[in-house]
Structure 1
Amino acid sequence: MTSQGDAQSLLGIKGVATSTGQIASSQPLADEAALSTGKQADLGDCVNLSHTDLRTRIARVVEVDPQTDTRWVGFLAAHSDSLIYHHPAWLQVIGEAYSHQPLCLACEDSDGGFRGVLPLFHTRGLLTGRRLSSLPHTPVAGPLALDDQAMAALVCAAVERVRGRPGTSLQLKMPRAGLDGLVEGLRGAPWEGTYVLELPKQPDQLRFGDSRNHGRIKWAVNKATKLGVQVRPAETEGELRTWYELYLDTMSWHVVPPRPYRFFKLAWERLRPQGLMRLLLAEQHEAGRSKLLAGSIFLMWGQTVVYAFNGRRREDLSLRPNDVIQWLAIHDACREGFRYYDLGEVEKHQQGLAEFKAKWGAEPRQLYRYYYPEAHELERGIFMPSSYNRQLVNAVWRRLPLNVTATLGDWIYRYL
C-alpha cells in the first residue's frame, strides 16, 4: 500500500485549507496577458531574487500542452530529478480519470528552450475548496527547473493565477524543502516521509541492510520459491482486473479509499505501452494449478522506479509473495540502469509498513507541501490509531462490501 497519502488523510480527517476564505490582497505579480501570450512578464515584485538575474536568463513563462509540445518530454529526459509524475502520459491519466482541467506552465529562455516546467490541475473539493495543485492524486510533483530563477518564475506565474481567482489556493507537492524564500507568501510544511533506496551499478552489488537482514530476506525468497511462488509481469487487462480485486481487499484492510478501476485501466492503456508501468504478479504453482497471491504496480521514468500500488491475499502472506515481488523488482530496476527505487509514502503511525520498507535498505526522506496563501491543517491527528474514533472508523470501513468501498473511494478522490 503506497502513494495513498491524500486518501489516508481524508479518512483520518487530515486536510489542508486556507486560513481564510479569500486570497490576501497584494501587488500584481505580472501581467496575465504577458504570461499567457508569451510576452515578457515583470516578475520582480513576486520573487525574492535579483530582477536582473531573471531578465538575463528567462524570456517568458507560458502555458503549453505537454501532449503535443515535444520540448516537455525532452526537458524531462535531460533533467536528473524528473519523475513519472511529470510525464505527459501520467498527466493524461489523471486528467481523464478524474476530469480535472490541466494548466501546464513552462519557463522559456530567449531561444525558446525550456528552463523549467510546472504541471498543475484545477480541482475543487468540499474540504479544500478551489485549488490549483501539482499534482492531485499524486504523492509528489511540483516545479522542475534548471535553477532557482526558473523555479521562482514558474511558482510566481502559478501564484498570479491563484491571485486572479479569489477563493483559490495553490498546492505544490515537493520531494524536498526547496521553495522557501523564493516567492513572497508561499509557505511550506513537512508532509509524510517516503523511503528511497539508492541502487548500485550492478545487481550483484545489492545489499539490503546488514548481512543478517540481507540473509533473512534471501532466505524468505528462496523458501517462497521452493513452495512454488513465481513472479511474472501481467500481460492482459483481464489480469489487471483480477489483481484489482486483491487491491480492493488490501485497501479495505488498511482503511484507505481505493482508486477506481478506470484509473488503473487508463494507466494500463497510457503508461504500459510506453514502458512506464509494470504490474508484477506473484503466483503459486502447485499440482498443475496456479493461484494469484499478490501483485504490485511499478511506475518508472528517468532515474527512478516507484513502487506505487499493491494488492495481496491476506491469508497467503505466510508465503511471502510481496518479498519475492520486491526482490525481483529491485533487481530489475538495478539491471535496467535506474538509480533510485522509491518504496513510497508511510504515515507516522504505520510502523509495520515503515519496517517493511526499511528492511530493503531504503532511507526515509521527508516530503514537503507548499501552499499559497499560507495554509493550516484541519484537525490533524484527531483520528490517530490510538483514538476511539479512529478505531471505530477502521471497524466500520473493514466491514463494508468491497464494491461499496470502491464507490466511496471514487467519490472521495473526486470531491474531497
Structure 2
Amino acid sequence: LTGPHLVALPFSDHCSLLAEDDDSANNLLDQAVRLAQQKCVRYLELRTGANDVLKKRTDFAENNLYTCWTTPLDSDPGIIWSRLSKPVRNKIRKSHRLGVRIRFAQRREEMLEYYRLHLRTRTKKHGMPTQPQQYFLDLWDTFAASGNLQLLLADHEGITIAGSVLITSGTTARFLYGASDERYLELAPNDLLTWQAITWCCSNGLQTLVHGRTARVNKGLMQFNRNWATIEKPLPYFYYPCVAGLASTSEDSLKYHLLTSCWKRLPLQVAGPLGGYFYKHLG
C-alpha cells in the first residue's frame, strides 16, 4: 500500500547506527544505498536519531519531526518525585484520592482488557490503525514470564480506565504503549500509571525509563513528557534519496488530518480487524 521501501528498523521509533568508527559507518551506509538501488525502492529510511556521519553526507536528507524522552532513575523514588513538576504531583495525588488504583497484570486475559482500551484510543483519539489483538497476546506470551514485560492497568470503581505496556532490557525500561478511556481523563489515570511505573523501575534497579517519541507539533504530549523530569533530545530520521513515507508526514499536514479524520469515523468492530490488515503497511 505504501510502495516498496526499506526501513531500519520497521515498527520502531529509534535504531542507532551500529558502527565502531566513521569509516565503518560510511561503509555500512554505502551498502544500504546500494541495496536500495538494487531493490528499486522508493526510499530508504534510517531512524537513527542524531548522527554526525549521516549529517555530513549529501546523499541523505534529514527530517526533524520527532523528539525522544528519557527519565534518569534513582534507587530512591523520592528523588524522582522531587524532580516532577508541581502540577504532575498534584494530579498523582488527585488520582489516588479519587479512587483510581493501579494493578500489575498477572494473567494473559488481562492483556485483552488493555487491547480494548488501545483499540479505542488509536481509533477514536488518534485516527490510526491498531496492531492486531494477537500481537499483544504474543507480547505477553514472549516476555511476561521472564518479567521483561509489565502491564499496568488503572481501575476505578471496577472499570479498567487506562493501561500502559512497559518492557525492560538490561537497566532500561521503555513505555511501549499507553491507552486510556477519554471519559475518565479527569481522574488523571495516566499520571498515576506513569508514577507507578517509575516507582516499580526504581525498586527493580533500572536506571533509565524511555518514554518514546513525540511529534514536535503535538504540544499537549510534549508538555506532558516535560513534566516527568525527562531529558529531551531531537530524533531526526534520515532518508535516501529524499524524504518520503508515512513517518515523514507531519501531524499538522492536510494529508495527515484527512487520513486520521476518516479512520476516526470507523466503528470499533470494523477498525479492529481492518487495522490488523493495514498496520503491517505502516512500519
The question of a shared fold, defined as TM-score above 0.5 by the shorter chain, is answered with yes
Residues 173-192 of structure 1 aligned to structure 2 (within 5 Å): 173-180=47-54, 185-192=59-66
CA distance in 1, matches of 2:34, 2:178: 39
Larger radius of gyration: 1
What TM-score results when the alignment is normalised by the length of structure 2?
Answer: 0.85
**Structure 1 residues without counterparts, runs of 5 or longer:** 1-125
Q: Using the TM superposition, name which of 170-179 and 323-332 deviates more.
A: 170-179
Deviation at 1:325, TM superposition (A): 0.7
The residue identity in structure 1 corresponding to 2:134 is: R
Q: Deviations over 1:158-201 (max 9, x none)?
A: 33433433336432211322432677734433231122222235
Quote the residue 1:407 is aligned against: 273
Deviation at 1:236, TM superposition (A): 1.5
Residues 229-240 of structure 1 aligned to structure 2 (within 5 Å): 229-240=100-111
Q: Deviations over 1:202-240 (max 9, x none)?
A: 322114656xx33x3333323322333221211122110
Aligned length: 280
In structure 2, relative to structure 1, the CA distance for the partners of 1:164 and 1:391 (3 Å cut) is closer
Higher relative contact order (CA 8 A, sep 6+): 2
Q: Does residue 258 of the first structure (1) align with residue 126 of the second (2)?
A: no
Residues 276-355 of structure 1 aligned to structure 2 (within 5 Å): 276-284=148-156, 286=157, 290-355=158-223
Deviation at 1:275, TM superposition (A): 3.0
The residue identity in structure 2 corresponding to 1:145 is: A
Quote the residue 1:361 is aligned against: 229
Q: Is the 8 A contact 2:4 2:41 kept in 1?
A: yes
In structure 2, relative to structure 1, the CA distance for the partners of 1:303 and 1:187 (3 Å cut) is farther
CA distance in 2, matches of 1:224, 1:377: 42
Taking every aligned residue pair, what percent have the same amino acid on both sides? 26
Q: Is the 8 A contact 2:166 2:174 kept in 1?
A: yes
More helix by share: 2
Secondary structure of the residue that 2:140 maps to in structure 1?
helix
What TM-score results when the alignment is normalised by the length of structure 1?
Answer: 0.60
The residue identity in structure 2 corresponding to 1:279 is: L
Q: Is the 8 A contact 1:137 1:413 kept in 2?
A: no
Quote the residue 1:194 is aligned against: 68
Quote the residue 1:219 is aligned against: 90
**Structure 2 residues without counterparts, runs of 5 or longer:** none
CA distance in 1, matches of 2:131, 2:239: 25
Q: Is the 8 A contact 1:257 1:408 kept in 2?
A: yes
CA distance in 1, matches of 2:19, 2:112: 38
CA distance in 2, matches of 1:209, 1:394: 36
Residues 203-218 of structure 1 aligned to structure 2 (within 5 Å): 203-207=77-81, 209=83, 213-214=85-86, 216-218=87-89
